[in-house]
Structure 1
Amino acid sequence: MMNKPLLTLLLPCYNEDENIPVVLPEIEAFARAHNFKVIIVNDGSIDNSRSELARFAASDLITIAHHKLNKGYGAALKTGLQLCTTEYTITLDIDGQHRLVDVLNLFEQIKILDSDMIIGSRKGQKSASSWRGLGKFLIRLIAKILMQVPVHDINSGMKIFRTDIAQRYLPLYPDGMSFSDIMTLTFVFKKNLVHEVPIKIEQRRAGKSTINLRTAIETANGIINIIVLFNPMRIFLPTALFFGLAGLIWGIPILLIGNGVSVGAGLLITVAVLTLLLGLIAHQLSAMRTNV
């Protein structure tokens, strides 16, 4: 009698009909050899992905879920997470970029390190394009400046984590491509143990990536939103100090020469006070909203 599976491989799928016949048999054989489960969420694909996935519907290892419409990368992973019953879950792509040997390594490391999440770090590897590389750099910069994130590759699509913790935070995750970043930031903010382990990324077997400049903008916006949610004073306090100091620098010289309080200085100081008050209100709302 086989032991109960401890790991689920969770794969979102959108318009991957060229990759499914090549990659999925390898994943199924790998999962069978190591007693893992597989969950695939077809996110409203408009190609032949649904019919290609139907060939694997009878597998005792693979669970397939379908969205009627394209809801987004994060929405697909959230659907899959709700179906996961194993102690650990690992997210990876169905385009063949993530190596199965790295799945085994991350699985071993999360048990050895007793981590809550391990991120497959692509640090030092070149991006598919200079624009994507620049976008990833800016996203990391924003996250580190505003939230002191102790990891490098916050938006890696390959990460392994404790399923129960990830499910607890489901209401905080976005539906779009910023899911990976926000999930990492959520684990970090909630004081879960997060590590990084190097992985190697391969070329896509076929098809075209859907990541573009719009994705980077969406991700940056999502990071700012989650920081405002988790630690609003990180944004409001420096902003209030900036306006307050600007008002004092402007107003004190005018006051010293006997011309009274400058209107401009008064306006800047008023903005500083209002910003600080908004930050305090946001802090209270954050405490209520993040109590999950």
Structure 2
Amino acid sequence: MVDISILVPVYNECETLGETLRQIQEVCQSMHFQTEVIVIDDGSTDSTSQVAVIAGTILLRHERNRGYGASLKTGLREARGEIIVIIDADLTYPPQRIPELVDHLSNADMAVGARTGRHVHIPWLRRPAKWILQKLANRVAGQKIPDLNSGLRAFRKAPALRYMHLFPDGFSLTTTLTLAFLCDGLRVEFLPIDYARRKGKSKINPVRDTINFLVLIIRVAAYFEPLKVFLPATMISGLISLYLLGYYFWKDGGVSDTGVLACTVTLLLFMMGILADLVVRRSRS
């Protein structure tokens, strides 16, 4: 019986996959668990699949490139272990920390390798957007999140499967996983780890993926804590309504249709937020 499934999503990682798998297999031999290593090849055009086969891992392959999240969802569906570990194949994350993450699941539902160690190499270009998204996610979760979308983590499979319908196909799956666990009151622990400089070219598109992260955080907030989305929207709409009413009253001496329309939108946003919150709380009771 398999206890732990280690998922390695890859796309054109033939240069680093072999060393990554070698380190993972060394770690597996040191643990007192039955493990399986699953490589999910997301439509690579190089020899990535051959490297995985030579290393003796389980290989799952997409016929075309579908995305990081799609790869992890494929791996989750096929994984036999009750504990899931995910790790990237670009040698940025230390596989040697996997046993420690798994050990923390004795008191938690998920253990995340937070990139807050002494040696962390995150490109400066990504840091401003990452900071903004982090602050927004902290507000949604109601607590400080050391690392929102770390690609090294261990978690229990059963609760993760409950959120499969929320998981996107892109890089923001790990963000969804973190927020879903925290917003649903599950126990999440963060362990500081080092993060090495990436070998090869990153697959992340800074502009597109930042927008996707932002949309996803709002979507998850609306799903778990709708008032945290609708109340700020209502306040902004209300301020705009007051401005329009005041401006046109000062200019024309009466109430404008634009101001009335803005007030109506404000009221609708408020009512939608209340109804959404009632639906969420009823579904959890």
Give the TM-score normalised by structure 1.
Answer: 0.85
2:37 aligned partner: 38
Alpha-carbon separation, structure 1, partners of 2:62 and 2:225 = 34
2:201 aligned partner: 208
Alpha-carbon separation, structure 2, partners of 1:254 and 1:215 = 41
SS at match of 2:14: coil
Alpha-carbon separation, structure 2, partners of 1:116 and 1:71 = 28
Question: Partner amino acid for 1:129?
Answer: P
Contact 1:149 1:185 in 2 (8 A): no
Question: Partner amino acid for 1:141?
Answer: K
Call closer, same or farther: CA 1:46–1:270 in 2, change over 3 Å: same
Contact 1:147 1:234 in 2 (8 A): no
1:69 aligned partner: 64
Aligned: 1:133 with 2:130? no
Identity within the alignment, %: 30
Alpha-carbon separation, structure 1, partners of 2:230 and 2:157 = 34
Contact 1:126 1:133 in 2 (8 A): no
Equivalent residues in 2 for 1:246-285 (5 A)? 246-248=240-242, 251=245, 259-283=253-277
Contact 1:116 1:193 in 2 (8 A): yes
Call closer, same or farther: CA 1:127–1:137 in 2, change over 3 Å: farther
Aligned: 1:158 with 2:155? no
1:97 aligned partner: 92
Indicate the larger mover: 237-246 or 89-98.
237-246
Aligned: 1:235 with 2:229? yes
Equivalent residues in 2 for 1:15-54 (5 A)? 15-34=12-31, 35=33, 36-54=35-53
Give 1:64 deviation, angstroms: 1.4
Alpha-carbon separation, structure 2, partners of 1:48 and 1:284 = 52
Give 1:156 deviation, angstroms: 0.7
Give 1:17 deviation, angstroms: 0.8
Contact 1:151 1:195 in 2 (8 A): no
Question: Partner amino acid for 1:109?
Answer: H
2:183 aligned partner: 189
Give 1:201 deviation, angstroms: 1.5
Contact 2:3 2:83 in 1 (8 A): yes
Contact 1:71 1:175 in 2 (8 A): yes
Give the TM-score normalised by structure 2.
Answer: 0.86
Contact 1:127 1:133 in 2 (8 A): no
2:6 aligned partner: 9
Aligned: 1:83 with 2:82? no
SS at match of 2:203: coil
The Cα RMSD (Å) is: 2.8
Aligned length: 280
- Note the residue ranges of structure 1 that are not aligned, 5 or more in a row: none
Indicate the larger mover: 259-268 or 179-188.
259-268
Q: Deviations over 1:58-86 (max 9, x none)?
A: x3xx3211111111100101111112222
Contact 2:121 2:196 in 1 (8 A): no
Q: Deviations over 1:34-68 (max 9, x none)?
A: 24321111111111112222213xx3xx3211111
- Note the residue ranges of structure 2 that are not aligned, 5 or more in a row: none
Question: Partner amino acid for 2:20?
Answer: V
Q: Deviations over 1:6-40 (max 9, x none)?
A: 32211101101111232222322322332432111
Give 1:247 deviation, angstroms: 3.3
SS at match of 1:131: helix
